[in-house]
Amino acid sequence: MSPGQWGRSATLRARPQSAIAPLLIASPALVFLAVFFAWPLIEIARVSFTPSEISRGATPLTVLRDPAHLRALGFSAGQAALSTALTLLAGIPIALAFARYRFAGQRLWRALAVAPFVMPTVVVAAAFSALLGPRGALNSALQTAFGLEQPPIQLMGTLPMILLAHVFYNVAVVLRLVGGFLAAFDPSMEEAAAGLGANRWQTFRHVTLPVAMPSVGAAAALTFLFTFTSFGVVLILGGARFATLEVEIYRQTAQLLRLDVATSLAIVQIVVTLLVGWASARLETRAGAPLAARPADDIRRPVNSPAARALVAGSLAFIILVLGLPLATLAWRSLDLSGSDPLRYYAALSENPRGSLFFVPPQTAIRNSLFFAGATATLAMLLGVPLSYAIAQGSRSAAGGAARLAQSLDALLLLPLGTSAATLGLGFLVAFDRPPLELRTSVALLPLAHTLIALPFVARALVPAIRALDPRLREAARGLGAGPLQALRYVDLPLLAPPFIAAAIFAFTVSLGEFGASLLIARPEYPTMPMVIYRFLGQPGALNYGQALAMSTLMMLVTLVSVIAIERVNEQALSARKA
Amino acid sequence: MKRLTLSLTMATLLTACALQAPPTRPVMQPQQAAPRTLTIMTHDSFSASEDVIAEFERTNNAKVVILKSGDAGSTLNKAILSKDAPLADVIYGVDNTFLGRALAADIVEPYNSPALADIPDRFKLDPQNRMLPVDYGHVIINYDKAYLQEKGLAPPTSLRELTEPQWKGKLVVQNPATSSPGLAFLLATIAAFPEGSAYDWKQFWRDLRANDVYVSPDWSDAYYAQFSGSSGKGPRPLVVSYATSPAAEVFFSEGKLEEPPTGNLEGTAFEQIEFVGILKGAKNRDLAEKWVDFMLSRRFQEDIPLQMFVYPVAQTAKWPEVFVKFGQPPAQAFSLTPEQIDQGRDQWIETWTQLVLK
């Protein structure tokens, strides 16, 4: 590893490229986004701004004159910035621990950290309330210990509760994106810095963080947009006094049927998303420097110093306390401790005593969920991998159409994440109502909609890593006679396995946890696990509640098993030495 | 008489067989034409027994497709948005709080079903029968019996009492902007403390807010995460729910409970009536009429209680035992006309949001 790499990267970037080749590679994804994203939005905007009983002349400019909307915009952005900062603060050390050290049960811990990502908000809210609520475990313990009259912790319905829940949901984003990036890249510079007398903080601050910056920027952008458009967490854990733009859009759409106001607010959201996308794209390209890569397993070291022990122990403690405890509470409450059979609610999932038309055996729900998630992951990778290469390679050239195209694509790609689900759902309804795309009630709409959300994740996981991979490695392979696909197979894939796995896992879990029925028109023929959970939570009674929690616990297990399976299968398939 | 007994026995036997037999699609006779599809748009809470739907499909050589389209408000709005290219033949689940909007949007056609004869006039809110009543229920405050007993509190006897200090921080309501029972409860308070009276609904909500009322976004969170009387074991003993919730607690306890753990507070109820209508531009108008007749027939009406936990509107429909014992409707309920609701709703929600959330 010669330090000259840094100097020479400038020459590698300076070659201007035309925009045609990247555009061609990116075209399937661009067509997909045009048909399933841009068109529905244009159609719903057309309907919303045509004067009628559902449109009374509001525009994106006039809606912001309403102080309530301005407050919602301010709150959305403010809490998202705070949530993102806290998530990065918690997530980066954990990502570092997982990328740099080898320890027992690593794969399981990392899979566990992704499990919150798929959990329905109502269920998570119940778990937090059971732990931190006025009659929750923590308050009860404190009251007994100190003989207090009133519960000392009053978190429910406060901003800190919203932030805590956002960290709970999004730590996985940082762990996977930053951790995946670091795991693919060489720690020899960190070692060199340490050899030159830098302490750990200096090494982190001046070497590790700058190197990882592209992935930090990507993780920050995704977390910001996820929390900026937060709906369930703010509604349920915020206790109704807080309102994000997304909540206001839902209210204007579902209850008031003021589409002009709703779509105007959705456009405001889109503008903010573009700004975030532009900022993160700049951060990613400015910081990106090509590094040579080594397979992740060569990089991880045993936990051999007190500092390393502290980092790993701290990371695991965080995962156990903040992520594991609420999930364990759910699993505990899914047991029936009043009767003779603690697994009663699990057994009841397979029974249909009322002969209900909408009864779904658990294996059917699991199968459907896995099928949709698999379809989403496949489609998102098929579209996202070429797109990511187009962006990464285009942006390497210092000038020319390719660089401009790459940067705007990179920014535009985040749009589906920052677009209101309620607005897009209605867009589908008005756009796909006639042949050849009579899709309004089609089952295919579910994985298509999930892919829209998964695509930004795939690109954000892949682009920084592809861009940072030293292009001379690929050029050397081509020089030895390898075709472009062979170079991808034998150079990129083995070296970039962690980001590729992160991308596939996100695409999969985004679909697994997404409750599409409020967004789309659901056909009950293919119910998924979240749909079953919400059906149980719609009626009172111990059996319904117990079954909802049993199904949630099953969903957690399915997530753990799938994530671990995806990692194993891909690691084996991508491993260079086994090829 | 003998033949009646015989046919009743046969019917019971057949029902018993149908209940035990694994669910199968009806087998079509080869000479029959292919079944026509009847599409029904409804909200996420819709439920029915498999054999009841199968019976309709068999009798009418039809295939029933249910499209669940979100909550009641979202379902109606999706129907309005797609009125030029209707998604379905029938819409079910519009209630009296949204009836005015459905009629004003001109999405449904009149149908004078013969089955209306068995339905009391007080449910027929649309004189032109574009929207026909199917079932009704009551949004009402449930209380946690054990909690109140432990604290030595007697259940409140009026809405006004909820603003008194002993109920501080004890009531959970839903946001009327995002929840249908939340809207119904707001309407109950508007009917109880009318605009312009010395103590109006706005003052009532100001007092409730001062008394730390908790606002949940939806019924599930209110009932399971916030209410102490449910299996979720939340912190607060009073919640806006349904008059049938105590009966459902018994029904879903699988024999563990002989008495409901919760009760209804008289004097806090609002009546919700749900309607069905044939959409303009329905592809199968005749089949849609059959479906409406079927929903109002005893077969479907008697299936309603244990599937959706609301009351059938048909006078002759028998109620299940758990409803008779624990699910009686409240003695009195507040009400507003669909016109009043349609004119006031948006402004009331806006004012409520200002008063309670800001």
Question: Does one domain contain both B334 and B320?
Answer: no
Enumerate the residues of chain B whose CB falls inside 8 A of the CB of residue A54. 80-81
Say if A480 falls within a structural domain: yes
Nearest to A456 by CA among A219, A282, A176: A219
Query: Model-level pTM?
Result: 0.85
Enumerate the residues of chain A whose CB falls inside 8 A of the CB of residue B218. 122, 235-236
Say if A15 falls within a structural domain: no
Q: From B355, which residue of chain A is nearest by alpha-carbon distance?
A: A241
Question: Does one domain contain both B190 and B87?
Answer: no
What pLDDT shows up at residue A122? 75
Backbone angles phi, psi at B229, to 5 degrees: -85, -5
Question: Does one domain contain both B302 and B232?
Answer: no
Residues A44-92 pLDDT 10s: 999 889 887 777 788 888 888 888 899 999 999 999 999 999 999 999 9
Question: Does one domain contain both B125 and B162?
Answer: no
Question: Does one domain contain both B120 and B160?
Answer: no
Residue A519, pLDDT above cutoff 70: no
Distances (CA, A) of A259 to A423, A440, B11, B72: 9, 19, 51, 17
The token pair that represents A357 in the structure block: 């038309």
Say if B301 falls within a structural domain: yes
What pLDDT shows up at residue A126? 78
B 297-336 residues inside an 8 A Cβ radius of A: 306-307, 309
Say if A305 falls within a structural domain: yes
Residues A367-407 pLDDT 10s: 999 999 999 999 999 999 999 988 887 776 655 667 777 77
CA B100 to chain centre: 17
Say if A312 falls within a structural domain: yes
Is B256's CB within 8 Å of A338's CB?
yes
Q: Which of A358, A537, A540 sits opposite B245 (nearest CB)?
A: A540
Q: Choose the mutation target among B14, B37, B68 for the interface with A, i.e. most A CBs under 10 Å.
A: B68
Residues B135-147 pLDDT 10s: 999 999 999 999 9
Average of per-residue pLDDT across A333-345: 87
Contact (Cβ atoms closer than 8 angstroms) between residue A480 and residue A85: no
Is the pLDDT higher at B266 or at A513? B266
Nearest to A254 by CA among A225, A228, A227, A231: A231
Residue A11, pLDDT above cutoff 70: no
| N-term to C-term CA, chain B | 68
Say if B26 falls within a structural domain: no
pLDDT above 90 covers what percent of chain B?
Answer: 76
Find all residues with CB under 8 Å of A141, minimum gap 6, and list them. Answer: none
Backbone angles phi, psi at A26, to 5 degrees: -80, -10
* 3-state secondary structure at position B114: helix
Find all residues with CB under 8 Å of A309, minimum gap 6, and list them. Answer: A303
CATH number at residue A151: 1.10.3720.10
Question: Does one domain contain both B176 and B213?
Answer: yes
Residues A307-335 pLDDT 10s: 899 999 999 999 999 999 999 988 988 99
What pLDDT shows up at residue A96? 92
User: Out of B221-225, B283-287, B313-317, which region has the weakest mean confidence (pLDDT)?
Assistant: B221-225
What pLDDT shows up at residue A136? 78
Contact (Cβ atoms closer than 8 angstroms) between residue A227 and residue A166: yes
* 3-state secondary structure at position A301: strand
Say if B120 falls within a structural domain: yes
Say if B6 falls within a structural domain: no
**DSSP line for A177-225:** HHHHHHHHB-THHHHHHHHTT--HHHHIIIIIHHHHHHHHHHHHHHHHH
Q: Choose the mutation target among A56, A434, A521, A526 for the interface with B, i.e. most B CBs under 10 Å.
A: A521
Question: Does one domain contain both B289 and B144?
Answer: no
Residue A230, pLDDT above cutoff 90: no
Question: Does one domain contain both B148 and B255?
Answer: yes
Is A257's CB within 8 Å of B101's CB?
yes
Average model confidence (pLDDT) for chain A?
Answer: 84
Say if A276 falls within a structural domain: yes
Question: Does one domain contain both B246 and B317?
Answer: no
B23 — pLDDT class (breaks 50, 70, 90): very low
> Based on the structure, what is the number of domains in chain B?
2
Q: Return d(Cα A241, Cα A93) in angstroms, integer.
A: 33
pLDDT above 70 covers what percent of chain B?
Answer: 91
What pLDDT shows up at residue B138? 97
Nearest to B40 by CA among B134, B126, B121: B134
**Cα four-point dihedral sign A99, A104, A108, A113:** negative
**DSSP line for B75-105:** HHHHHHHTTTS-S-SEEEEEETTTHHHHHHT
* Domain housing B173: 138-270+328-357
Least Cα separation, residue A268 to chain B (angstroms): 21
> Based on the structure, what is the number of domains in chain A?
1
Question: Does one domain contain both B253 and B293?
Answer: no
Average of per-residue pLDDT across A503-510: 90
Can you tell me which residue has the tokens 């733009």?
A245
Say if B18 falls within a structural domain: no
Say if A2 falls within a structural domain: no
User: Out of A481-485, B255-259, B352-356, which region has the weakest mean confidence (pLDDT)?
Assistant: A481-485
B311 — pLDDT class (breaks 50, 70, 90): very high
Most confidently modeled range among A132-146, B124-138, B172-186:
B124-138
Most confidently modeled range among A185-189, A323-327, A537-541, B200-204:
B200-204
* 3-state secondary structure at position B24: coil
Question: Does one domain contain both B247 and B349?
Answer: yes
What pLDDT shows up at residue A398? 55
- One-letter amino acid at B102 equals A
The token pair that represents A406 in the structure block: 């790459």
CATH number at residue B116: 3.40.190.10
Residues A412-456 pLDDT 10s: 888 998 888 888 888 988 888 887 788 887 888 888 989 998 999
Enumerate the residues of chain B whose CB falls inside 8 A of the CB of residue A247. 178
Find all residues with CB under 8 Å of B278, minimum gap 6, and list them. Answer: B89, B90, B108, B109, B111, B285, B288, B289, B292
Residue B28, pLDDT above cutoff 70: no
Say if B198 falls within a structural domain: yes
What pLDDT shows up at residue A10? 38
Say if B53 falls within a structural domain: yes
Enumerate the residues of chain A whose CB falls inside 8 A of the CB of residue B178. 235, 247, 250-251, 254-255
* Domain housing A502: 24-39+54-347+358-574
Residue B6, pLDDT above cutoff 50: no
Nearest to A17 by CA among A389, A297, A292: A389
Is B50's CB within 8 Å of A356's CB?
yes
Question: Does one domain contain both B206 and B351?
Answer: yes
Can you tell me which residue has the tokens 């951790």?
A179
B20 — pLDDT class (breaks 50, 70, 90): very low
Is A359's CB within 8 Å of B178's CB?
no
Say if B262 falls within a structural domain: yes
Average of per-residue pLDDT across B214-230: 89
Say if A434 falls within a structural domain: yes
